[in-house]
Structure 1
Amino acid sequence: MILAIAHDTLAQIGNPTPEAPPVSDKILQLVRYLTWFVLLSGVCGIIYAGGRFAWEKWTGGGLESPKMVAGAMIGGVVATSAGTIMNAVIG
């Protein structure tokens, strides 16, 4: 009986259409700026790791830079797919 009442109440509410908050354009602009910064820092990290890799090969030191390249690439993938990941988790 309680379930029937809840079902009837929810059926009367209907399906509301989503509406953006008043300042959502500024928030989305900030998110775009942050995304751009993350991508720029990832590219800089890969360039730095490539230079360090060449230096390590030239001097005969230990190879730490491949881990840096992999970390920058994985971080970039996670950062650029954050919206998709959140939609999968929440939705």
Structure 2
Amino acid sequence: MSTAYLIGEAINVLADQIPVTPKAPPGSEKLINIVNYLSWLVMVAGVAALIYAGGKFGWERFHGGALESPKIVLGALVGGVIATSAGGIMQAVVTGTG
């Protein structure tokens, strides 16, 4: 047998699929409940940031000066997208589906 053949067979063995079926640990319902509450709080904080940025934008336009509110709006929107997609991203990472 050649070295290339042995290396190929070793790669085939190492590349075999290992079936993994994730199961929730005992007591995970409480942790999931806490994560759901945190997700809800993140959404409320995002809405509050958008409302604050809208008010600040009006104040800055009325009184002049530098516009900082677009940065707040952008930050709230990007944070909201990341927060809402975090569950899907982690599901894809854990299960390997995409």
The TM-score normalised by the length of structure 1 is 0.78
> Between Structure 1 and Structure 2, how many residues are aligned?
85
SS in 1 for 2:26: coil
| Unaligned ranges ≥5, structure 1 | none
Provide the C-alpha distance between the structure 2 equivalents of 1:15 and 1:78, rounded to a whole number of angstroms.
30
Deviation at 1:15, TM superposition (A): 4.5
The one-letter code of the counterpart of 2:59 is W
Aligned: 1:68 with 2:87: no
Give deviations 1:49-86, integer Å, cap 9, x for gaps: 00000000000111110111011011001011101122
| Unaligned ranges ≥5, structure 2 | 1-5
SS in 2 for 1:36: helix
Of the structure 1 ranges 18-27 and 66-75, higher mean CA displacement relative to structure 2 is found in 18-27
Aligned: 1:88 with 2:95: no
Q: Which has the higher contact order (CA 8 A, sep 6+)?
A: 1
Aligned: 1:28 with 2:32: yes
Overall identity of the aligned pairs, in %: 53
* 1:32–1:59 Cα change, 3 Å: same
Matching residue of 2:61: 57
The one-letter code of the counterpart of 2:28 is S
